Amino acid sequence: MLAHNPDIAQRLDDIADLLELEDANPFRVRAYRNAARVIRGLGAEVAVMLKRGDDLSELPGIGKDLADKIQTIVRTGHLPLLDQLRKATPAIAAELLKLPGLGPKRVKTLYHELDVHTLEQLHRALLDGRIRALPGFGSITEERLRQALETHAAAPSRLKLALAESYVEPLLAWLRDTPHAETVAAAGSYRRCQETVGDIDILVTAPRAAPVVKRFTEYEEVEKIAARGNTRATVVLKSGLQVDLRVVPPRSYGSALHYFTGSKAHNIAIRRLGQRRGLKINEYGVFRKGRRVGGKTEAEVYRAVGLPYIPPELRENRGEIEAAAAGQLPTLVKLADLRGDLHVHTVATDGHNTLTEMARAAHERGFEYLAITEHSKRIAMAHGFDSRHLLKQIEEIDRFNATSPRITILKGIEVDILEDGKLDLPDATLGHLDLVVASVHSHFHFSRDKQTGRILRAMERPHFTVFAHPTGRLIGEREPYDVDMPRIIGAAKDRGCFIELNAHPERLDLIDAHCRMAKEVGVLVSIATDAHRTEELGNLRFGVFQARRGWLEKADVLNTRSLAALRPLLARTMR
């Protein structure tokens, strides 16, 4: 498989960016962007679809020309159009486009007006004050750009968890599909479900290491073999991801998995506990005076230091060892615990599937309920609803619920929190709904006090159920706006409303620390996909990963409740 869905989508987005730099037809640019969104949201790999003979031109927004281009990317890993555009565009453009806040128009201004061709030249232009003088920039943009440059320079190369998953899982399947491997597992930050991951560690148990090492290095996506030994190897995939393989005997599997899962701080703390008991704990096992006393399983490692098994998501040395010692480890929420999704869009605004299609897909996933929450009118580019359109959809949902006993659609809206803290639709309209999901979509530059005050005022409105994607961040692309989350969570407790953990892989917004904060004060968290197409309902798993890192249990999550238990909780926010 030469290209995964994220690779294909990125190439299509790159084409859109470069076309926009050339002032190409806006409809052509939009076609590539829409195609990228469709590919990212697919539940199956495009390469697999092509292999089984699927017609890509039947996908929404993808005609024959785009389908042919996508097929070329999958078959060759390249696209002539993209190569041509890159040759015709200054090399700095691609680098500048990676910086948050710099779209194609501003990038074009920079290299045309200031003759910027390197990041160093951009930095000098910032120091000289030339950036703020450009039309459409100013001092605020200058400061954001300075911060983006600093972040870009300091940040190590890491992949978002969902993107890493698309590379790691096929490789694990490749290794499992051989009689030589017994147990195959990924470790490291990937196993701990961190938001972003660096290099990947894979552990395999096998009676003979050599055949496993050989199979690993023969994987079709290996670009370079960086190192190869009798029981280990390091490769770099065509995606640029480095993967380290270690083949260990079964007697060492648990200790090796524990060691390479980390985190470093957690492992050091466990080793110190072992030292107090006269034990030596390393990747090879648990030893007392040179004699092996454990290490076949991770549970043996923890048992050796007097602790129960600690789930990987908690292993950050943030109190999990003390909680384990006290018998107070949380029973972490599982994907199977979720009964529905409380933040979903349809084709009525900026989604890609109808209400019926979203409901059917949710039912097939075992959901009991689904909240349809279109955008409100402030988001004009998403065709947001005014009161008339919302009331019309309410009637549509009532008709659906009257004829479909398999799943219940809840009536909602994703309403904008305006600059002054008011909501984007009148209370009289919002009062007809089952829930109101409220979000900040503008004025991210407000000061901490102003942004926090705006949200607190919104929470006091008569109809306010869930505060959605609470910091507005896009991982690696847009920094969170400055907001006092302890105050927000405290206000949610007082108000009786809820906080969302947006499960979209680009967001994962609430962060784990804020999940734990909500748990500690008793604010329920809604794990929601913000899905715009049926396939994106599957993103709930990423929200669950994040929730587990935040110590959340089933009882801490709003949408683990049955519909009968959920309705009173929603109703109390619609006073």
SS3 of 57-87: the string is: HHCCCCCHHHHHHHHHHHHHCCCHHHHHHHH
Annotate 157-169 with DSSP letters as a single string.
Answer: --EEHHHHHHHHH
Q: Which helix (H) or strand (E) holds 258?
A: helix 253-261
DSSP 344: E
Predicted confidence at residue 121, as pLDDT, reads 72
Q: Does domain 335-571 have CATH number 3.90.170.10?
A: no
pLDDT tens-digit readout, 447-473: 999 999 999 999 999 999 999 999 999
CA distances from 358 to 354, 355, 383, 487, 560 (A): 6, 5, 18, 35, 19
Predicted confidence at residue 295, as pLDDT, reads 95
- CATH 1.10.150.110: which residues of the chain? 5-154
Task: Determine the CATH number of domain 5-154.
Answer: 1.10.150.110
Q: How many CA atoms lie within 13 A of 306 on its CB side?
A: 12
- CATH 3.20.20.140: which residues of the chain? 335-571
The pair of structure tokens assigned to 569 is 């909780």
Backbone dihedral angles phi then psi of residue 29, each to the nearest 5 degrees: -60, -45
**Beta-carbon count within 10 A of 493 CB:** 15
Angle at 502 between CA 560 and CA 39, to 5 degrees: 115
Helix (H, G, I), strand (E, B) or coil at 271: helix
- CATH 3.30.460.10: which residues of the chain? 159-248
C-alpha span between 344 and 367 (Å, rounded): 13
CA distances from 215 to 181, 233, 253, 500 (A): 10, 11, 20, 43
Q: What is the mean pLDDT of each run of 10 residues along the chain (575 residues)?
A: 77 87 84 87 82 85 88 84 79 70 76 69 77 79 76 68 92 93 96 93 95 95 94 91 95 97 94 96 95 96 98 95 96 98 95 94 97 91 88 96 93 96 96 97 92 97 97 86 93 97 95 95 97 93 97 98 98 93
Amino acid identity of residue 406, one-letter, is R
The answer to whether residues 512 and 301 touch, using CB atoms and an 8 Å cutoff, is no
Class for domain 159-248, per CATH?
alpha beta
The answer to whether residues 368 and 340 touch, using CB atoms and an 8 Å cutoff, is yes
**Beta-carbon count within 10 A of 46 CB:** 24
CA distances from 514 to 114, 162, 332, 483, 569 (A): 42, 21, 16, 12, 21
C-alpha span between 262 and 271 (Å, rounded): 12
Amino acid identity of residue 289, one-letter, is K
The pair of structure tokens assigned to 23 is 């002032």
* Nearest alpha-carbon partner for 387 in 361, 426, 435: 426
C-alpha span between 333 and 520 (Å, rounded): 15
CA 378 to chain centre: 25
Backbone dihedral angles phi then psi of residue 342, each to the nearest 5 degrees: -110, 25
- CATH 3.30.210.10: which residues of the chain? 253-325
C-alpha span between 414 and 351 (Å, rounded): 13
Would the CA dihedral through 460, 464, 465, 466 be positive or negative?
negative
Query: What residue has token string 């005609």?
Result: 63
Backbone dihedral angles phi then psi of residue 96, each to the nearest 5 degrees: -65, -35
Would the CA dihedral through 569, 371, 336, 515 be positive or negative?
negative
Predicted confidence at residue 195, as pLDDT, reads 93
Name the β-bridge partners of 203: 185, 246
pLDDT tens-digit readout, 56-106: 888 888 888 899 989 888 888 778 888 888 777 766 676 777 776 677 777
Predicted confidence at residue 128, as pLDDT, reads 76
Q: Which helix (H) or strand (E) holds 436?
A: none
Fold of 253-325: Beta Polymerase; domain 3 (3.30.210)
pTM: 0.82
Backbone dihedral angles phi then psi of residue 239, each to the nearest 5 degrees: -75, -10
The answer to whether residues 268 and 321 touch, using CB atoms and an 8 Å cutoff, is no
